[in-house]
Amino acid sequence: MTTSTWRESVQAAWIDYNGHLSEAYYVLVFGHATDAVMDAVGLGPDYRSAHDASLYTVEAHVRYLAEVPGGSDLEVRSSVIGVTGKLLWVWHELWVADRLRATEEVLGIHVRGGAPAPFPDDVASRAREACVAPPGEASGRIRLSPGG
């Protein structure tokens, strides 16, 4: 189940010397998708300004699976794959032309007034309701295979 979908087009300034989306801009786009998830669970701009609270990223892991050419229309499908009292675990998939190009998993902590704090009950409830099982690729790590 997708919690939210974020769409935007690749900007010309985001293209690297190989003619593809530069590494840093995958993270930018995934950041926009995280904002959409925050909106979906009740942590949007009104909440942030009213409560001096937000979600801070404490860990992220990106997998670059295929190139994204200039001029592409991007679609990021995002799911909540874990939630605790203060933590939200999000899975993003970046799709272009019906092909999965990259994934990112993000672990965010709810912060209020500059310190970690429990989610409000309504936010926690929406996040739990949206939560789906993590995909098999989640919690991966970088490793070298012998002879690789």
CATH at 38: 3.10.129.10
Give tens-digit pLDDT for 12-21: 999 999 999 9
Residue 102 belongs to what domain range?
A: 4-130
Domain contains 81: yes
Give tens-digit pLDDT for 77-119: 999 999 999 999 999 999 999 999 999 999 999 999 999 999 9
Domain contains 36: yes
Confidence band, pLDDT 50/70/90 cuts, at residue 6: very high
Domain contains 106: yes
Q: How many CB atoms lie within 10 A of CB 68?
A: 25
Give tens-digit pLDDT for 22-61: 999 999 999 999 999 999 999 999 999 999 999 999 999 9
| Token code pair at residue 124 | 């926690």
- ∠ CA 138-95-19, nearest 5°, is 110
Domain contains 93: yes
Structural domains in the chain (count):
1
Percent of the chain predicted with pLDDT > 90? 92
Domain contains 124: yes
Domain contains 144: no
Measured between alpha carbons, how far is 36 from 18 in angstroms, rounded to an integer?
A: 30
